Structure 1
């Protein structure tokens, strides 16, 4: 019996967090623009994001909503207890090298540190400040994912094998037929 009560309270907490994330999403985005991109009516999209309405936001609609808006905050609310975070990769036509990505990460980390200092001295945290700070954190995570991807791309393929083989030979490894 206690398990059922615990499951219900967890479900209720998750539903409340989801409802709040949907309301915040509707407040922070231009619904007519997002609805046009999704080929859905603006009123229908608003109703699906409003917990007081009977319309439900289905999984595929949630995926399209996040894709077309670039905001994955609703996904993150759902996945938070699973220990995962959804990150939108920054759309950038310019390729940045590893050092530029590292410096960008330092800059974003500095901005987040400044926000944290302001939050420590504030008595309350308005939603607008929370949402701006979350946007900065997501930008930093996206940059880190691109940095990780760049590192993985540099260490896969033929080049690392050739350099390791060359190091092996140059450092005095015996070669068959030449020793």
Structure 2
């Protein structure tokens, strides 16, 4: 998957899933299916991955929720995407994943901005920026801040 070899990843995951069900493999096959355009299959596999993911594996559950949210956002189902991201945020706060929380907030801000809710987009971007400042992730902070500036201040300056 990390080398953009999605067809091979899909084939390999299908072979593994034929032998046994594993939430990590289901999440991986769902990501490959999503990239390859098999959206309904990806949704099914993400849901199965969530069902099989043990409660104590929170660091595995949050990315599954995030990937599902991205899929629904791409499909235009913004309320469902936001609901999934909110679930992911509760988990990331619980496990102390501040950078992950900030990334989720930035994803939410981007999608909310696409709907025209610029005030909510700004609020989410500011939350992301504050989280990144907390952990001194200055490179990421600059990207979020620039996205916020371009979205909110550049149009009025032109």
TM (normalized to structure 2)? 0.30
Computing the radius of gyration from Cα coordinates, the structure with the larger value is 1
Larger relative contact order, structure 1 or 2 (CA cutoff 8 Å, min sep 6): 1
TM (normalized to structure 1)? 0.27
